[in-house]
Structure 1
């Protein structure tokens, strides 16, 4: 994906950083807290965090609001499984306490594992101060969608939908921009890969 972005004449790469693989110590310390899935082990044994920022050349800002840009910030394994008190949750009763961000793509928004005791936790979209919303995928599924979306500005909302379900509500501008602009930038984009998970 990174190579394809660099070769795309419509794209300007702002940042493209791949961390070295997680160390055996970092992985073993995480295993004490959580039983890592095969997909997690495979990923973090190859790279312990990714930071990619790109934008459309000449037309980064979208009329009406939003950005024609991509933001990916896959956190290192030791960050994912730390205590997120006062960042994600603020007291023991906070329903967001089980969330552990894996992709903190924007300062106030992330995709996070919901660690509720499952051996293969789901990934949720979370904007601080709003309701957390399931994306209907696990860690591996999230990475697959991330590759297809190239981290486009708030692509998660194409799956998560608005905070409160309303079938008569207009499509959020972030989702509309994602579905409109992605085919202009990437010939292989298939919008059917991004179906609303919450439909009611």
Structure 2
């Protein structure tokens, strides 16, 4: 098992073992041993798709397809709660863009944007139409990360794939954590509800996983709340 794979499994086991959490859905996923290590997998990607990725993406490379968890605080339906479902990079890239996002009916500008998306994390179980994707563009070895919400649309994140996967270990997929790493346009989002949910989720994580440092998440949330008040 690769180092980051072990970190993912440890995070899942920690979450499941927490007495204050109820598990709503769990998927162990298949482990693509045939890919070998990150170096070998990235060589395969270059051979098959002609895609060269930055070596930094190897630091959080994993070979799981369908490793997922949906959870909530015991006795609650959503807040605090979260979910994720991970797909390894090769399958995400080879699988192409989600067909329904490139069909007629979307504005042309959005269809062009969506055609670059390669989904590696989604809220599969809740069926709420949200996912995170690499934006695959020619000559870009460290692709931008975009977060898509069926209600609010697409927004670019301020972290790369390595940063995203490290934050996933910390957040355990709490709903809307991705907005803490975006320049969220307040006028188009129900920010008050999102911020309230994130506050309760971060407080819950701090209380139940005290060995982890959530100060950056708290600071990012406070910064966005203050910016909202100034608008």
Query: Normalising by structure 1, what TM-score?
Result: 0.77
For 1:11, which of 14, 21, 28 is the aligned residue?
21
Alignment correspondent of 1:38: 55
The Cα of 1:45 is off from its aligned counterpart by 5.0
| CA deviation after TM superposition for structure 1 residue 38, in Å | 3.2
Give the aligned length.
193
Identify which of 162, 179, 182 aligns with 1:157: 179
1:190 aligns with 2:214: yes
What are the residue-to-residue correspondences of 1:37-56 with 2, within 5 Å? 37-41=54-58, 43-44=60-61, 46-56=63-73
Say yes or no: does 1:176 pair with 2:196. Answer: yes
Offset of residue 102 of structure 1: 0.9
Question: Which structure 2 residues correspond to residues 1-150 of structure 1 after superposition, within 5 A?
Answer: 1-13=11-23, 14-24=25-35, 27=41, 29-31=44-46, 32-33=48-49, 34-41=51-58, 43-44=60-61, 46-58=63-75, 60-61=76-77, 66-81=78-93, 82-90=95-103, 94=111, 95-106=113-124, 107=127, 108-117=129-138, 118-128=140-150, 130-150=152-172
Whole-Å separation in 1 of the counterparts to 2:59 and 2:65: 11
SS in 2 for 1:156: helix
**Alpha carbon RMSD of aligned pairs, Å?**
3.3
Superposition deviation, residue 74 in structure 1 = 0.8
Deviates more, 1:180-189 or 1:147-156: 180-189
- 1:51 to partner: Cα distance: 1.0
Structure richer in helix, relative to its length: 2
CA distance in 2: counterparts of 1:22 and 1:172, whole angstroms: 44
Give, in whole Å, the separation in 1 of the partners of 2:142 and 2:165: 14
Task: State the alpha-carbon separation in 1 of the partners of residues 155 and 101 from structure 2.
Answer: 14
Distance 2:202 2:191 in 1: 16
